Amino acid sequence: MKETQDKRISSAVISRLPRYYRYLGELRESGVERISSNELSARMKVTASQIRQDLNNFGGFGQQGYGYNVAYLQQEIAKILGIDKTYNMIIVGAGNLGQAIAGYADFEKRGFVVKGIFDINPELTGTMIRGIQVRMAYEMKDFVRNNNIDIAALTIPKESAVEIASMLADAGIKAIWNFAHTDLNLPKEIVVENVHLSESLMKLSYNMANRLREEREEE
């Protein structure tokens, strides 16, 4: 990769990288070793110039007349996304959402290894989800300290999320994948990714409303 590490990459570009990573993975699985930006563009329904521009942010990776080496490009994107290593993760809140996330084995393929699941409900003690035992929340701080936990997924009600997040920060967590509908007030070295499925649904609704408006205009 060339000189570009110190340059700020726009969040729009970053948000497209996981999709490139996924498509390149599918191409590898189907035995494709190299691909031109035009072919990649046709498959991904992104313009070839967009692909070239996006990847140029990181130094290119393509070769004139050859296109992209699929395995190499996927590896480089993995490095940029930081998924060329594994992360230890805990899930806080073993309710509907926490159990669904814990039950989804594919996160592990991307290097996110669920090491523990925590809840305050004593009835859940010892419940196993994909071979991982639900533990009680009071054990969490020591668990994070003793097991090199990098990431905590917060799938708890918003009322307790701020307090739990700051306890996790004290315990040395590096990042929080926050599903609770509240902003967390954490030191800036802790990376927070807020996830709101409802926002995605509102985007969908906007696009549906737009489609309707366009249809009316065409009439």
Residue found by looking up tokens 């070239």 in the block: 52
Q: Write the CA distances from 20 to 38, 115, 183, integer angstroms.
A: 14, 28, 30
Q: Of 77, 176, 180, 184, which lies in the binding site for ligand NAI, with binding defined by CB under 6 A?
A: 180
Least distance to ligand NAI, CB of residue 187, Å:
20
- Give the separation between CA 202 and CA 198, rounded to whole angstroms: 6
Name residues contacting ligand NAI, limited to 109-168 (CB under 6 A). 118-121, 137, 155-158, 160, 164
Cβ atoms of 89 and 150 within 8 Å: the answer is yes
Q: Of 92, 129, 165, 186, which lies in the binding site for ligand NAI, with binding defined by CB under 6 A?
A: 92
Cβ atoms of 169 and 194 within 8 Å: the answer is no
- Give the separation between CA 219 and CA 216, rounded to whole angstroms: 5
Q: Of 18, 59, 95, 126, which lies in the binding site for ligand NAI, with binding defined by CB under 6 A?
A: 95
Q: What is the DSSP letter of 178?
A: E
Least distance to ligand NAI, CB of residue 178, Å:
8
Q: Of 80, 90, 93, 101, which lies in the binding site for ligand NAI, with binding defined by CB under 6 A?
A: 93
- # of chain residues touching ligand NAI (CB under 6 A): 24
Q: Of 27, 80, 91, 97, which lies in the binding site for ligand NAI, with binding defined by CB under 6 A?
A: 97
